[in-house]
Structure 1
Amino acid sequence: MNLPLQGQLILAFTRIGLLGFGGGPSMIPLVHAEVVKRYEWMSEDDFSDVLAIGNTLPGPIATKMAGYIGYRVGGMAGCIGAVLAVTLPCIIAMIALLGLFMRYRDERWINGMSQGVIPVVMVMMARLTWDFWAKARSSLGAIATVVLAVVSAGLMYGLGVHPGLIIGALLIAALLRPEPKQSTRS
């Protein structure tokens, strides 16, 4: 077992667990920053694939990503360490802070603190959206990306289709799509 690597995994996912205000979706940019940018354990493409697959499965996205990335980087010990690192800080903070919040919930500074986090999370999500737009545009083209985004938004928000079903359908369509024929030049 590579102890320095296990320590990096635990440190990275502890940071994510401590700073992931707003739940799973707000943790995605933090996971991206640690896994792709800081430690370079995954490429942008690999991260996008993990995120897509993770969204099709039930359960919290942060723990699914921690489990898979931990396993990929550090084996079973990495999986266990990453999942515990991303969940334990949240559980401990929740127990401690919820007691304080309930006691001081009418205080102005508590309301201001909870409202102040929202714009930061919004910026993190916007940045991640921009990065995914750039990746999709470069691989699919701008028109196909916009069409898929509009159709997906219509299905999710207009018809109430779960995003996992849409992602699953797109994965199946990609698997069933015939390979483009290679031209041979002599």
Structure 2
Amino acid sequence: MDFQGYMAISGAMARTGIFGYGGGPSVIPLFRHEAVVRYQWMTDQEFAELLAFANALPGPIATKLAAQLGYQQKGAMGAVVAVIAHIFPTSVAIVALLGVLYTMKESVIVAGMIAAVRPVIAVLLGITAYEFCVKTWGGMGKVLGVVFGVVAFLLLGVLDIHPAFVIMAFLAYGTIHIKLYSWTKRKLSGGSGKHHDKGVSS
């Protein structure tokens, strides 16, 4: 058994669970740092694809990312270890500090601590979003990337469509686009080859 590999997964997922203050989107930059920067398990593009698939599935985003990262590294057992390592520290903390939190929830000091942390989370999310945009521009071009970004904003922010449906629609578009591109490329290469053969035979 690769104990070093399991220890790496456990440590990475434990850090995302401990420092992922606020839950939800706030933990995404932490997962990216562990998977892309620290351990280099995947590229930014692969992480963006993982995030898209995770958002299309039901359930908390953090546990889905932990399970997928663990599975990619060590299979089913890696997924189990990753999820446990991610949720265990905070579960223990919640059980141990629940009474304290209830007594201090009206405290001005606690409210100030929460307010001070929020800008950091906003900056982390902004940096992650910017890096995703740069990767998108590199793959699709700036014009198409901006168009898709505006469409996604309208669907999610204005029309309030569930993110899962938007992600599935974009995935479907990408699949159809690649299929059509490959089909067109094969047709053109096949057609040019036939013309070339005719010229040689004559």
Instruction: Give the TM-score taking structure 1 as reference length.
Output: 0.94
Does the 8 Å CA contact 1:71/1:78 hold for their aligned counterparts? yes
Partners of 1:95 and 1:159 lie apart in 2 by 39
How many residue pairs align between the two structures? 186
Partners of 1:17 and 1:158 lie apart in 2 by 32
Segments of 4+ moved more than 4 angstroms: 182-186
**Corresponding residue of 1:118:** 118
Higher share in helix: 2
- In our comparison, the structure showing a higher alpha carbon Rg is 2
**Corresponding residue of 1:17:** 17
Q: Does 1:6 find its partner at 2:12?
A: no
Does the 8 Å CA contact 2:28/2:62 hold for their aligned counterparts? yes
**Corresponding residue of 1:155:** 155
**How far did 1:145 drift?**
1.1
SS for the counterpart of 2:18 is helix
Q: Which runs of 5+ in 1 are unaligned?
A: none
Partners of 1:105 and 1:7 lie apart in 2 by 35
Q: Which amino acid aligns with 1:30?
A: L
Q: Which moved more, 1:96-105 or 1:144-153?
A: 96-105
What is the alpha-carbon root mean square deviation over aligned residues?
Answer: 1.6
SS for the counterpart of 1:179 is helix
Matches within 5 A, 1:99-118: 99-118=99-118
- Residue by residue over 1:119-138, the C-alpha shift from the partner in whole angstroms, topping out at 9 and shown as x without a partner, is 11011101100110100011
Percent identity at matched positions?
35
**Corresponding residue of 1:33:** 33
**Corresponding residue of 1:76:** 76
Instruction: Give the TM-score taking structure 2 as reference length.
Output: 0.87
Q: Which runs of 5+ in 2 are unaligned?
A: 197-202
**Corresponding residue of 1:59:** 59
- Residue by residue over 1:42-94, the C-alpha shift from the partner in whole angstroms, topping out at 9 and shown as x without a partner, is 11121111001001011111111110110110122211110001111122222
Partners of 2:94 and 2:153 lie apart in 1 by 33
Q: Which amino acid aligns with 2:181?
A: E
